[in-house]
Amino acid sequence: MIRLPRLSPAAPERFPDPRTALAEPNGLLAFGGDLSPARLLAAYGQGIFPWFGEGEPILWWSPDPRCVFRTDALRINRSLRRQLRGSSWQLSVDRAFEAVIRACAEPREGHAGTWIVPGMIDAYTRLHHLGHAHSVEVWDGTRLVGGIYGVAIGRLFCGESMFSAESGGSKLALAALAGLLRAWGWPLIDTQVANAHTLGLGAEEIPRERYLCEAARLTALPGRVGNWAEDGTPLVRAVLAQAAG
- Encode pLDDT of 150-205 as tens digits: 999 999 999 999 999 999 999 999 999 999 999 999 999 999 998 888 888 889 99
Question: Residue 78 has what pLDDT?
Answer: 86
Question: Residue 111 has what pLDDT?
Answer: 53
Give CATH 3.40.630.70 domain extents, the chain.
67-244
Question: Residue 110 has what pLDDT?
Answer: 54
pTM of this prediction exceeds 0.75: yes
Question: Residue 76 has what pLDDT?
Answer: 82
Alpha carbon distances (Å) from 27 to 37, 61, 66, 212, 225: 22, 5, 10, 13, 29
Question: Residue 7 has what pLDDT?
Answer: 96
**Which of the residues in the chain have pLDDT under 50?**
none
Question: Residue 43 has what pLDDT?
Answer: 97
Q: How far apart are CA 116 and CA 101, in angstroms?
A: 8
Strands 156-164 and 188-192, by their bridges, are parallel
Alpha carbon distances (Å) from 77 to 63, 82, 83, 180, 239: 29, 9, 10, 17, 13
For domain 67-244, the CATH architecture is 3-Layer(aba) Sandwich (3.40)
CA Rg value for the chain: 17
Give CATH 3.30.70.3550 domain extents, the chain.
6-63
Angle at 150 between CA 238 and CA 161, to 5 degrees: 95
Alpha carbon 96 to its chain centroid, in Å, reads 15
In DSSP terms, 92 is beta-bridged to 137
Question: Residue 113 has what pLDDT?
Answer: 54
Q: How far apart are CA 203 and CA 96, in angstroms?
A: 26
Which CATH code fits 6-63? 3.30.70.3550
Amino acid at 83: Q
